[in-house]
Structure 1
Amino acid sequence: MNKLLIAFLLCAATAASAADIFTFSNPPGPHAVGLKVIQQYDRTRLYKAPIDLVTGEPVQGERTRPIQALVWYPATPESGSKPVTYRDYLETVPTEDAFTLSAAEVKRLTDNRIDDNAGARRAALLREVSRAMHAVRDAHPKAGRFPVVIYAPSYSAYAIENADLCEYLASQGYIVLSSPSLGAHTRAMTIDLDGAETQASDIAYLIGYAATLPAADTSKVGVVGFSWGGLANVFAAAKDERIRALVSLDGSLRGSPEFVDGGKDAAKYVTPARVAVPLLYLGARPRTVEELNSNVTPTHFSFMNEMKYSDVYIVSVLPMKHGDFSSYSIRMSQDGSFGDYTREEIALAHSWAALYTRHFLDAYLKGDAAGLTFVNNTPATNRAPAHMLTTSIRRNQSNPAPTLENFVRLLTANGFDRAIPLYKQMSMQPNALKLGPNEVFAWGLQLYRLNRLEQAREIFRLGAHLHPDLAFIVSALAETQAKTGQTREAFESYRRVIELDPSNADAMKYLKEHASSSS
């Protein structure tokens, strides 16, 4: 009996010990994982002012933007290799925008971080940070070509915010890069357009850096963003067609719609038509109508509802609050921080969010049929725990999106002489393409200079159709009509030019020379 009691107590102690630390439930994939910490400067952007904006003291040394990137990658297994601990990850935080810190200073700041978060669970947290992770520092990269995933952290957060997810994706055959969420000129991010565009530029920088890695396939890029990073990744996708898939971990795409709703504070280039890529939105427990309307100026705009040109998957992870999408947060939070759930239950839900992320990226970056089946299944079919997940799937309703790129493709396939009806067709779609006079004139002029006169003529014809009262566009049409043998059409166009600009010498000359042949 005593032996049974001792065995029971040991099992109970082991279970209690496991329950008070973070456990990532998903087994790693087929690849070993390497980790590199890269410190570079983006010298196209200034970061520091001449004086320190905190202390007011003169700034010494490099003032351009620091980019400390953590890179996880498929690696060759090495016997005797020692994986990093979670403390090793914590020690990358102090140097995120201060590359010259000494080892002693890094240790002091890391100790302080652990002490500040220890509280009543100090013993558990010390066990937590000493645990081995999966990645091996500077392991030899595995040969092959792998899709790229950029991880964009939440507001002012660290590159290691979701190290478990980043390691997991690398083990599944992705090269994953993450840099901290820094403001434009200070360590603190700012909740404004400048902040969102700054982090989007950091995402673009990381994609550019990934292109220098021999194993990285930057024709297949996905961006995973948590909270503020889940808005910045949408900004990045609006500018960079290499981004083929987006994952938003309870992203500010939902929480800060004023930056994407087309209003006075919004980025005008961030439109659903320009973000025509598949999106997986993993959200926290949905808020009640009362909570949604508790703000002084409630808003009901949903960018995701307007994404008619994308496959959109919305997965609500019911046990999770906003901060639970960060494995750093789950590790560092005190007991009792998870509402009606235990740390263990939240860790399991977090792992399921990571599983959906992996299968979604497999589907849309690797073309994996099993991944596509998984994200289209019901949670029950995927054997998710009961009452953990709900899903909503919105299919691409109107392909292709009305973008300039797709318009040019249609012209190439159907003929430039179809420019006006094809443009009309696109203009009837949501978030319609709109070509301004200078834009269409510059397009036609480029074709003219390439000696593609008939194509130039049709673009100028489209311009004259859209902007019939602008003499310079009608004049360009008339000139290309004349050069391509459309004499009568050119005569009529030049007559219109004279109506708009009676002193136009070219129009008067042409009308005089061709008056008899046009009568």
Structure 2
Amino acid sequence: MNTNSETMRLIIFITGLLLSTIFYGQTSLKEIGLKAGKYQVGFKHYTVNDSTRTYRIHNEFNNQLIMRPIPISIWYPAKIENSNSEQLTVLDYVEIFKEEEEWKDLPDYFLMDWFKHLPNTPQNKAHLSEKVNAFLNPTFLEGNFPVIVYASSYQASSIENFALFQYLASNGFVVISSPSRGTDTRWLEGATAKDMETQSRDVEFLLKEIHSYNNIDLEKVALMGFSFGGLSNATTVMKNKNISAVVSLDGAERYNYPVLEKSPYFNLDKFSIPYIHFAQKEIPKEVLTADKMSEELNYKFQLYDSLKNSNIYRYRFHDLTHSYFSCFGVLFANRDKRQDKSDEKIMASYNLLCQHTLQFLNATLKNEKKAIDFIENRPVANGFSDSLISKQMKKAIQKEFTYKDFNDLAYKQDYKDLIPLYKSTIAEYPNLELQEGMLNIFGLRLSFNPEKKDQGYNVLFLALHLYPKSANLYDSLAEAYFYNKDYSNAILNYKKSLELNPENQNAIDRLKQLKE
């Protein structure tokens, strides 16, 4: 797909707006049947301004610029303290559209006539009164929870997948999301590289926002995105090393890889974290022909083929078309008679999509053994027919393990037990080399920080384990003790340095100074 017209057709197709023959679905949250986990769920929605970027409200029809507003929705394990906590309805979520679509004063009775993604049908009106599994603004439960930063589909709302978000929060995750919007106004340009970079920056804004919460484990961060959000997340991963895993809900990185390649940050070597991609059912030839789509949509996946440093899992859900990778699509989207399955199959498959997402996140962020086994198994081994779900996977090619990688491991255990860590690591990576000079400089640097002196001693102990005949290392360890006023250990190690190098003038001078 090289022409602009083909690209725009693809955008329209994968956002579920092009349906030649439609009918109305009858679904409900209850029938989707997601079984909540052990935590009660809180929900907050607020707006923060990004002062580094400007923005214009399109509906105000002027040239006035404001700081870029970032509407934020967040779901979290909560403490419901009293009966005054308000249980939300679908309508409470839908009302967020008014802010995100920049019609905040729109009367509720206009919602389903004004917004094209809310077809005004009796079935859809019935959804608005449904209770959801979340309460408004309760206290954050004490704990340290992994977080998922979500990138919405093309021009979509922060709440488009609220059922999945609630489900994950009830199982001990925090989910934070913002709407997909253009660089200068609400509107994107057409899934361009500029649009992708704008959404990536919004995701990075959320990566900063999570630092304002005390109950989030900042060492356990995953990205998740639907459709265009998946494409934006792919480039975000290449820019940020503090991400542990990425979930793609039929992400457009499969459909629009050339746009990803246009990112100035494009570097496959920096995509080295676990990655799972859930894909839609095979698109019927009738639909491809009528909507002028390439047959490559059904089989080509250049990112999957190109990645070398990641463990990659690729699923296809044979009862889901693209729109139904969000609960909003399951509940509100019109059905396409040419390809959509029954409502019962759509709801059941969306339920399975949520289960698989949870298992992947439990495996990668919580290191749960059962979840790891679930993700490594074929679907049939987990009790799912190949006619319902199919899977491919490939393991990362083992890359060279360097002193930086070892230091990452040492950092995670606060530089304790470094000699056992080295022994276990060298058994797995026999080519690992920790140079004396590097350990010496790093150990001293830590030792001169009063809050990290013990970490510095441990690094120098490891260095001496590897280089036991080094007079310079004993001298450095002595200097570390001397700086921290541990004079008895300083004297001991200056003497050891002199035994190995009697001409070490620094040790001679220090011992003289200490004797005086």
Task: Tell me whether the two structures share a fold, i.e. TM-score over 0.5.
Answer: yes
Residue 142 of structure 2 aligns with which residue?
Answer: 143
Task: Report the CA distance between 1:94 and its aligned residue.
Answer: 1.4
Counterpart-to-counterpart distance in 1, 2:42 and 2:60: 38
Residue 107 of structure 1 aligns with which residue?
Answer: 108
Task: Report the CA distance between 1:415 and its aligned residue.
Answer: 2.7
User: What SS does the aligned partner of 2:73 have?
Assistant: strand
8 A contact 2:113–2:119 mirrored in 1:
no
User: What SS does the aligned partner of 2:270 have?
Assistant: coil
Task: Report the CA distance between 1:117 and its aligned residue.
Answer: 3.9
Relative distance call for 1:400 and 1:278 in structure 2 (3 A) is farther
Task: Report the CA distance between 1:412 and its aligned residue.
Answer: 9.0
Residue 283 of structure 1 aligns with which residue?
Answer: 279
Task: Report the CA distance between 1:260 and its aligned residue.
Answer: 3.2
Residue 76 of structure 1 aligns with which residue?
Answer: 79
- 1:25 partnered with 2:33: yes
AA matched with 1:186: T
Residue 183 of structure 1 aligns with which residue?
Answer: 182
8 A contact 2:77–2:141 mirrored in 1:
yes
Task: Report the CA distance between 1:254 and its aligned residue.
Answer: 0.5
Relative distance call for 1:158 and 1:338 in structure 2 (3 A) is farther
AA matched with 2:98: P
8 A contact 1:33–1:135 mirrored in 2:
yes
- 1:35 partnered with 2:43: yes
Residue 424 of structure 2 aligns with which residue?
Answer: none
1:271 to 259, 267, 271: 267
8 A contact 1:336–1:342 mirrored in 2:
no
Task: Report the CA distance between 1:145 and its aligned residue.
Answer: 0.2
Residue 334 of structure 1 aligns with which residue?
Answer: 334
How is 1:378-457 mapped onto 2 (pairs within 5 angstroms)?
378-384=378-384, 387-400=387-400, 413-415=433-435
User: What SS does the aligned partner of 2:268 have?
Assistant: coil
Residue 87 of structure 1 aligns with which residue?
Answer: 91
8 A contact 1:91–1:106 mirrored in 2:
no
User: What SS does the aligned partner of 1:211 have?
Assistant: helix
Counterpart-to-counterpart distance in 2, 1:289 and 1:311: 32
AA matched with 1:83: Q
- 1:164 partnered with 2:172: no
User: What SS does the aligned partner of 1:205 have?
Assistant: helix
Choose 368-377 or 128-137, whichever is displaced more: 368-377
8 A contact 2:117–2:333 mirrored in 1:
no
Residue 494 of structure 2 aligns with which residue?
Answer: none
Residue 66 of structure 2 aligns with which residue?
Answer: 63
Relative distance call for 1:340 and 1:158 in structure 2 (3 A) is closer
User: What SS does the aligned partner of 1:44 have?
Assistant: strand
AA matched with 1:65: R
8 A contact 1:134–1:167 mirrored in 2:
yes
Counterpart-to-counterpart distance in 2, 1:89 and 1:270: 35
User: Can you list the C-alpha shifts for 1:61-116, whole angstroms capped at 9, x where unaligned?
Assistant: x6111111001000013453431100100000110264x934xx252552435798
User: What SS does the aligned partner of 1:238 have?
Assistant: helix
Counterpart-to-counterpart distance in 2, 1:92 and 1:53: 18
Residue 226 of structure 1 aligns with which residue?
Answer: 226
Residue 241 of structure 1 aligns with which residue?
Answer: 241
User: Can you list the C-alpha shifts for 1:97-144, whole angstroms capped at 9, x where unaligned?
Assistant: 64x934xx252552435798445xx33222211100001000111100
8 A contact 1:95–1:106 mirrored in 2:
no
8 A contact 1:211–1:217 mirrored in 2:
no
User: Can you list the C-alpha shifts for 1:31-71, whole angstroms capped at 9, x where unaligned?
Assistant: 000000121101111122xxx65675242xx6111111001
Task: Report the CA distance between 1:313 and its aligned residue.
Answer: 0.2
8 A contact 2:79–2:139 mirrored in 1:
yes
8 A contact 1:19–1:344 mirrored in 2:
no
Relative distance call for 1:115 and 1:151 in structure 2 (3 A) is closer
Relative distance call for 1:297 and 1:142 in structure 2 (3 A) is closer
Counterpart-to-counterpart distance in 1, 2:383 and 2:155: 35
Counterpart-to-counterpart distance in 1, 2:295 and 2:373: 42
Relative distance call for 1:192 and 1:115 in structure 2 (3 A) is closer
Task: Report the CA distance between 1:187 and its aligned residue.
Answer: 0.8
Task: Report the CA distance between 1:399 and its aligned residue.
Answer: 2.6
Residue 208 of structure 1 aligns with which residue?
Answer: 208
How is 1:126-137 mapped onto 2 (pairs within 5 angstroms)?
126-137=125-136
8 A contact 1:21–1:343 mirrored in 2:
no
Relative distance call for 1:393 and 1:312 in structure 2 (3 A) is same
Residue 46 of structure 1 aligns with which residue?
Answer: 54
Tell me the number of residue pairs that the alignment of Structure 1 and Structure 2 aligns: 387
AA matched with 1:39: T
- TM (norm. structure 1) is 0.68
Relative distance call for 1:223 and 1:109 in structure 2 (3 A) is farther
8 A contact 1:207–1:218 mirrored in 2:
no
User: Can you list the C-alpha shifts for 1:308-352, whole angstroms capped at 9, x where unaligned?
Assistant: 111000010011111111211121123565835211210111111
Task: Report the CA distance between 1:285 and its aligned residue.
Answer: 1.4
Counterpart-to-counterpart distance in 2, 1:297 and 1:386: 22
8 A contact 1:260–1:268 mirrored in 2:
no
**Share of identical aligned residues, percent?**
25
8 A contact 2:117–2:332 mirrored in 1:
no
User: What SS does the aligned partner of 1:282 have?
Assistant: strand
Counterpart-to-counterpart distance in 2, 1:231 and 1:257: 8
8 A contact 1:253–1:303 mirrored in 2:
yes
Counterpart-to-counterpart distance in 2, 1:83 and 1:55: 34
**Bigger RCO (CA 8 Å, 6+ sep):** 2
AA matched with 1:171: S
Q: Which runs of 5+ in 1 are unaligned?
A: 1-16, 419-519
User: What SS does the aligned partner of 1:231 have?
Assistant: helix
8 A contact 2:222–2:245 mirrored in 1:
yes
Relative distance call for 1:301 and 1:386 in structure 2 (3 A) is closer
User: What SS does the aligned partner of 2:367 have?
Assistant: coil
Relative distance call for 1:43 and 1:350 in structure 2 (3 A) is same
AA matched with 1:27: K
Counterpart-to-counterpart distance in 2, 1:333 and 1:323: 7
- 1:345 partnered with 2:345: yes
Relative distance call for 1:211 and 1:407 in structure 2 (3 A) is same
AA matched with 2:52: T
Task: Report the CA distance between 1:194 and its aligned residue.
Answer: 1.1
User: Can you list the C-alpha shifts for 1:373-419, whole angstroms capped at 9, x where unaligned?
Assistant: 111112122222561100111111123589x965998999433999x
User: What SS does the aligned partner of 2:128 have?
Assistant: helix
Relative distance call for 1:336 and 1:58 in structure 2 (3 A) is closer
Task: Report the CA distance between 1:210 and its aligned residue.
Answer: 0.8
Residue 482 of structure 1 aligns with which residue?
Answer: none
Counterpart-to-counterpart distance in 2, 1:225 and 1:401: 30
- 1:256 partnered with 2:253: no
